[in-house]
Chain A
Amino acid sequence: MLFNSPEFIFLFLPFAVVLHFALARWSMEAAVVGTTMSSLLFYAWWNPPFVLLPIVSIVANFWLARRMVDADQRNAKRLLVFGIVANVLVLCYYKYADFLLSIVDGHKAAAPNVPLALSFTTFVQIAYLVHVHKRRKLPGFKRYALFVAFFPHLIAGPIVRWSNLGQQLSDPVRYRLDWDNIALGLTIFTFGLAKKLLIADQLSPHVAGLFDAAARGDPIMGAAAWIVCFAFSAQIYFDFSGYSDMAVGLGLLFNFRLPINFAAPLRAPNISDVWRRWHITLARLARDLIYVPLCLGHSGTLRRSLSLMLTMVVIGVWHGAGWTFVLWGFYNGALLLIAQAWQKLRGPGRRTAGRRLFGWLLTFTTFCIGAVLFRAADIDTTWHLIKAMSGFGDAMTATVTHPLDEWGVKNGFISETFVRTWFGTTWSMVGTVWTVAAVAIALFVPDTMEIVNYREGDAQSDWRRPLGNLAWRVSPIALAITIVLFAAVFFRLGFVSEFLYYQF
């Protein structure tokens, strides 16, 4: 069941919210159990037998945590290592087994059939084991089960930490109906839905068409390859940040505050800031679980650089089993190291508007180029696109291929020669217009979390802009705007498309 499906919005969600608060009137424990059951039902909707996987995983990790609390320091550490390895092995079995075998025997790895949410729940539970190991305190099993299975974050994050959501689950005040949070939650959910359906899904067929053509080895024009890397960056940003907004909105309907996951990263002035604002919860978890332990007690530049690189490669590999993801992680690690070196070299100099603009342009472009690695089916496809971007693309098309382009040519709005020369057979003027519009929205329109001033788990970055009258507050105008937006997305609910991050 997808957040953007009618069965979720009109059947499951009202049922789950009403059940939660109805049970909460009776007892907090009942609400916890009821919402855990709803969450497992939500998961089972996708593939009923697979619901056993999160159940077994929750039980096993809780058992391990209990053993850890009872054990002495040395054995607790052993149990922690065992828990981390076991969780990672399960993930490897489902996600990386074929890829690892392909390295050994050279066969072409097939796309893995990963159980939904596995990558996310694995990280959530590893972070929990680390937390228990440090604090030596154990919550009740019911609360832990809801913490992991809570459906707003279960499938694709934000990755929650016990220190945040776990504390809220123990707070009786959170189990009372809060109309302020429900109004805010419905608004954020609608904004997220609009990001996904009105922007990301409009880019999707254009992006998919070009990447599929590149995978087949069809000729790609240079301009088309450049535009598609911006188009895909905008698509995945609106898709995933839309999903994360929806998750935060859903959390608020239950009176729980989930952390934000995106802070307008495409506006970031440098690559370090991008990674403070893009998939914030994953980046923070990777920092805390990989980078910091690797650097602990070592202040040398080489050690820190290697740790950073390893952390980014792990983030890359976490997204998928393939060399493209390894390279994507490596590429971003390299960008971060270059940015750090440059900052050291430059020192705290004055930053003029021109320099800031240049810094943003360079950051945005390099980050978007990396997106080619993230989306391409394999290294050959990436290479094909990079070659085209470097000016080695070819093959003008004999005709204009997109029906809307054809219409534009017929009515004299665009020149046929222009479309043929710059876009070839695989891209279109329509795709270009959508890309420009999407990037412009990402850069100039305030982000959902800016508009509603939601700050839970905010990015460690000075990213918010003053909004003045644009700031959301409960008012008839805000209601009218949100309803119009919901009506606009409602009529696109029929075209249900999966979230890109479901595959991870």
Chain B
Amino acid sequence: MKWKASEMTPDVKWKDITPGCNIFEGGTSCTVETGDWRTMKPVLDADKCRQCLLCAPVCPDMSIPVKNGKRGDFNYFFCKGCGICANACPFGAITMVKDEK
């Protein structure tokens, strides 16, 4: 038995469920989209962004990826639209707009 988390679907049978509901991998929640909770959405103005990165650590949802010392665009798959980043930005580079889905 390989016990992959991805195989523990809602129709998994009792013989096949991982013992004790334990999971033998890390970070399996990365397939869960929480972006659909959003009503407001942060939008980055790359021209205004000075890459100070003060927006990155305040994100509760790991939605501001940082690579080589620079932030990239939002990960809208996870972003719940709380707006903390927009408020933390000293340069007004992030605006919260209504999320039209």
- A and B: bona fide binding partners: no
